[in-house]
Structure 1
Amino acid sequence: MSLKAAEISAFRASDTPYKKADAKGLYLEIFPNGSKLWRWKYRFAGKEKRLALGAWPDVTLAKARQLCEAARATLADGADPGLERKRAKATARISAANTFASVAAEYIDGKMVGEGRAETTLAKARWFLDLLRPAVGDLPISDVDPQMLLAPLKRLEARGNKETAKKVRSFASRVFRYGVATGRCKADPAALLQGALVAPKARHYAAILEPGKLGELLRAVDAYNGNPITRLALQITPHVFVRPGELRHAEWSEFDLDAAVWRIPAGKMKARRAHSVPLSPQVVALLGELRAMTGGGGYLFPALYSPRRPMSENTINVALRRMGFGKDEATAHGFRATASTLLNESGKWQPDAIERALAHGDSDAVRGTYSRGQYWEERVRMAAWWSDYLDRLREGGAVIPFGRAESNKK
């Protein structure tokens, strides 16, 4: 006799479990603790088996019968309903581990960390993931299509964050390529969106390109009355013209002051290639002064409140503002443009040597950490000349217009 919904609540617990049959092998089992579980009894390959269908009252009588009929249909198709359920659960577990967010986290914490990427680069990657997470984070990576990915990118674009949208798309593309390589998806839908976003305008960092104005800035740096470590960072920056992040994350272990060279490992460089910087006598002297302050271990420019962290990325720009140079006049990154422009205008140095000094298309990783390859000797002479030239500007000496006839191609 089939069960009735109204009588199920009247079944009371006893000292031992007991069963109340419904129909077609479906029954309710009542346990001493009062719980009531639906089960279905069936036979497969000559063996009697049980399939749990859920607990009453979450699973009502009507729902239990529906589940029973679905299991009976699976059995009629020649499959074991219990085994099929185990397979479905295993597939769900695998899918959960293969969501876009989980694969992206694996890419960041495994591949990027393993490659020695800078902490700022890792932080940006995690931020990019957070921007994508609401739209596609919980979806299996193999199910994400271009339209799903385009939606959050367009929202960033609509808020005026065109550069961020471009970088997030690029990050997603790297995650998908990693997913393809590790067998979690078959294609990179982000690659199809390259033409779907508005191209951001090229970003130009404010830089002083007039020698007389540069001399004024250098004198202001010498008179800077803020943190002495910040002053030294400001004094060294124009001489080495590396990227601000590369200077902030510089560590004493990378410097050989006797050989007058700074060897930056690949993990700290934008192009992921090791880069070497020749140090002029002026820079070596400034580094000696700095080492007396910081002790010669860890970061050259530690954060004010934690020596285990580098100086804030805003420190140099804030100091420039304190000295009266607006953001449309001078920036930490702009010192690279200053050096590039004035070195090229001098006519003394091969353009390729200047590009190598700026780590544009740098081949140091191939030629070794000493960078004793093409243009190195010229770069050593150029570093010394550039520091001498900055000294003349700082001292307020006469500024002689550069000519292009003279060329140093020794």
Structure 2
Amino acid sequence: MKLTDSIIKAAKAKEKAYSLPDGQGLVLFVQPSGAKWWRFRYRFNGKGKMLSLGIYPDVSLASTRKKHSELRELLAQGIDPSLHRQEQKQLKSIAAANSFESVARDWWDYWKDARTERHAKYVLRRLETDVFPVMGMKSVNELAAPVIVMTIKRIESRGAMDIAKRALNTISQVMRYAVAHGMAERNPAADIKPSDVLKPTNKSNYARLDEKDLPELLSKIDAYDGQPLTRLALQLMALTFVRTGELIGAKWNEIDLDRKQWRIPAERMKMRTSHIVPLSDQAIVILKQIQILSGDNPLLFPSERRDGKTMSNNTILFALYRMGYHSRMTGHGFRGIASTILHERGYNHDHIELQLAHAKRNAVSAAYDHAKYLEPRGRMMQDWADYLDVIKTRTNVISLNSAN
């Protein structure tokens, strides 16, 4: 007699477990506790076996019968259902180990040592926020270009064009790692160019002002009525044109006021090579003012809200917004302005590029280049500071001479 839901529900617990057959090896065991377990009894190669199919009512009668039918089909094909289940679990385990998220985290562990901690954490955070929720569970060996395109298009849809491009680049790096380690046969991201799937944008590089607008910006910075430490950070950035992350992460043990040098260690530099910033007289004055405000804090620009943390990148950006430069200027923009003006005034290209820490160098050349041309670079940085002082008045604009 076939089971029905009414029969199953009416089955009461007894002192000992007993079974209710549904036919062809499918039975329901009623336990002394009242729990009702689905089991499939069968024989394979002359041996009796039993396979668990779940607990009623979590697993319904209809779904159990469907599964039972599938298992009988396996038997008809000469396949042991128990062994088949074990193999499927192994395949799922392998797929999980080779999921994009799992491989991406392995790649990140391998990749991060050559990057700054800040940059490495940013890349992982972007993966966790924008990529893993969409394609993290996909096997890298089954990942196809349409899934990648969908992922970056979702990022683009919220207006984050630059993040979408970076996400595509990171996905491609992860897939190259997967191919190199035998986890995938090919890299589908290699078939995708940002220009093929993302809308074109008129933005180029970082927003920055023209030279003619620089005097007004410098005057507004000097008159900035926000936090004094923010004003001093902006003034120091204009004088040194370091990257925003390099500025806000500065520590006093990097500053040598007597030698007029700021030595930024390799781990804080984008290119992972140490960098020397010659300090002008004006920069020294600002640093001494910062010293008064930061007190005995090892950081030049500590956060106001988070102990032991630095000022945020957004502090610089929002200060520029407050001064009326939204979408017109960023902290990074000071680098572009300095490069343009110094090149136009005839300063040596190598001196400018070294001061901008643009060139990616190998370990041998880096050890030499970071201190290369310090004397002419020092003169260039002093000339630059003098130039900024003068143009704030918009009169008698100093002529920067070549420092070759």
TM bin (shorter chain): 0.7 to 0.9
Deviation at 1:111, TM superposition (A): 4.2
Residue 209 of structure 1 aligns to which amino acid in structure 2? E
Q: Per-residue displacement from partner, 1:98-137 (whole Å, max 9, x unpaired)?
A: 43334435545x3455445343662354235423344323
Counterparts of 2:159 and 2:306, CA distance in 1: 35
* Cα separation, 2, equivalents of 1:84 and 1:279: 71
Q: Secondary structure in 2 aligned to 1:143? A: coil
TM-score normalised to structure 1 length: 0.83
Segments of 4+ in structure 1 off by > 6 A? none
Matched ranges for 1:170-181 at <5 A = 170-181=169-180
CA distance in 1 between partners of 2:375 and 2:314 (Å): 34
Structure 2 counterpart of 1:207: 209
Matched residue, 2:165: 166
Deviation for aligned residue 1:209: 0.9
Q: Which residue of 2 aligns with 1:231?
A: 231
Report the CA distance shift for 1:63/1:408 in structure 2 as closer, same or farther (over 3 A). Answer: closer
In 2, Cα distance between equivalents of 1:258 and 1:369: 23
Aligned-residue CA RMSD (Å): 3.2
Residue pairs, 1:345-364, within 5 angstroms:
345-347=344-346, 349-363=347-361
Letter in 1 for 2:147: M
Corresponding residue for residue 4 of structure 1: 3
Pairwise mapping of residues 331-350 of structure 1 onto structure 2 (< 5 A)? 331-347=330-346, 349-350=347-348
> How far is 1:360 from its partner?
1.7
> Retained in 2: the 8 A contact 1:236–1:286?
yes
1:147 aligns with: 146
Mapped partners of 1:102, 1:342: distance in 2 = 47
CA contact (8 A) 1:364 1:371 kept: no
Q: Would the alpha carbon gap of residues 264 and 74 (structure 1) be closer, same or farther in structure 2, given more than 3 Å must change?
A: farther
Structure-to-structure mapping, 1:102-141, within 5 angstroms: 102-108=102-108, 110-111=109-110, 114-119=113-118, 122-123=121-122, 125-141=124-140
Q: Is the 8 A contact 2:380 2:403 kept in 1?
A: no
Structure 2 CA distance for partners of 1:11 and 1:275, relative to 1, 3 Å: same
Question: Which letter does structure 1 place at the counterpart of 2:67?
Answer: L
In the other structure, the counterpart of 1:408 is 403
Asked if the contact 1:229–1:301 (Cα under 8 Å) also holds between the matched residues in 2, the reply is yes
Quote the residue 2:241 is aligned against.
Answer: 241
Quick one: distance in 1 between partners of 2:200 and 2:394?
43
CA contact (8 A) 1:278 1:383 kept: yes
The C-alpha deviation readout for 1:303-333, integer Å capped at 9, x for no partner, is 22224222122323433454x4533664422
Worse-matched range after superposition: 160-169 or 302-311: 160-169
TM-score when normalising by structure 2: 0.84
State the match for 1:95 in structure 2: 95
> Equivalent residues in 2 for 1:359-378 (5 A)?
359-363=357-361, 365-368=363-366, 371-372=369-370, 374-378=372-376
CA pair 161-306 structure 1, distance change in 2 beyond 3 A: closer
Aligned residues: 400
From the superposition, tell whether residues 345 and 62 of structure 1 become closer, same or farther in structure 2 (CA, over 3 Å): closer
Contact kept? 1:276, 1:371, Cα under 8 Å: no
Offset, 1:369: 5.4
Q: What amino acid is the match of 2:244?
A: P
> What one-letter code is carried by the residue in structure 2 that aligns with 1:176?
M
Counterpart for residue 221 of structure 1: 221
Q: Which among 386, 389, 397 is matched to residue 388 of structure 1?
A: 386
Gaps in structure 2 of 5+ consecutive residues? none
